[in-house]
Amino acid sequence: MYCATEGMNRICNPVLFREVQKMDQLWVRLVVGISVVFSWYGAYQQLILGKPFGNNPAPDWMMFVLLLVFGIVFPLFFHSFKMVTEVRKEGLYICFYPFHFSFRYFPIKNIQDYEVLTYSQIRDYGGWGIRYGLKGTAYNAKGNRGVHFEFVDEGKVKKLMVGSQIPEKLSEAIDRAIRMQS
């Protein structure tokens, strides 16, 4: 439950739906894992054992920088990826950390239409993450299911795909939020 204090009043806005998704697909783990193993192995060979790594070895300082970037920072960065989706009575909230530090707000009153569907992340939106394409904006962390929204804001129709591992529950929460608006 989200609560805020205004003056002497405490206002609570219950969360009707919350989903946290991590980008933990096998292919992501492999890409990150290969870079980690390769950088640690190269650094161990060159910096610890004193054997030049590769046919054209980098200087020790560069090998250390590569170890820091690809052996520590890169995996921590990917590990920090998470998409949080919440539905409250007044809106849909999405935060794709580490790219957003606060929630993006989409008002319930602006929803014109929405439906649960299966989509192709690559063909329809060009991949995972925050995507802008011909079919609208997409927020997807993994999988190929979600809820497709059409919002009307100042006469313009905006399309939004929100990826979800439990899209039916997301749709049900939107139904409840719309009923609460009435």
CATH code of 175's domain? 2.30.29.30
Determine the structural domain holding residue 47 and report its residue range.
26-80
| The domain boundary residue, chosen from 80, 113, 148 | 80
My answer on whether 39 and 73 are in the same domain is: yes
Same structural domain, 103 and 70: no
pLDDT in the model for residue 171: 94
**Coil vs helix vs strand at 29:** helix
Same domain, 61 and 116: no
Higher pLDDT, 153 or 6: 153
Is the pLDDT at 59 greater than 70, yes or no?
yes
Calpha distance 104→60 (Å, rounded): 44
Tell me: pLDDT of 9 over 80. Answer: no
Residues 38 and 116 in one domain: no
pLDDT, residue 5, reads: 46
Same domain, yes or no: 105 and 149: yes
Q: Kindly tell me if the per-residue pLDDT of 4 is higher than 70.
A: no
Residues of the chain with pLDDT > 70, as a percent, come to 92
Give the residue among 130, 136, 129, 83 at the shortest CA–CA distance from 113: 136
154 shares a domain with 72: no
Confidence of residue 53 (pLDDT cuts 50, 70, 90): confident
pLDDT at residue number 88: 93
Co-location of 129 and 172 in the same domain: yes
Spatial contact of 42 and 54, defined as CB atoms under 8 Å apart? yes
- Total number of domains constituting the chain: 2
pLDDT value of residue 158: 92
- The confidence score (pLDDT) of residue 60 equals 87
Average pLDDT over the chain, rounded to whole? 86
**Of 58, 80, 102, the domain-final residue:** 80
**Domain final position from 42, 59, 80:** 80
6-10, 51-55, 76-80, 94-98: the lowest-pLDDT one: 6-10
pLDDT bucket at 78, cuts 50 / 70 / 90: confident
* Over residues 41-57, mean pLDDT: 87
Give the per-residue pLDDT at 12. 59
Indicate if the pLDDT at residue 85 is higher than 70: yes
Residue 112 sits in the same domain as residue 174: yes
Same domain, 46 and 105: no
Spatial distance between the Cα atoms of 100 and 15, rounded to a whole number of angstroms: 19
* Residue 157 Cα distances to 83, 137, 149, 150, 179, angstroms: 24, 12, 10, 6, 22
145 sits in which H/E element: strand 145-153
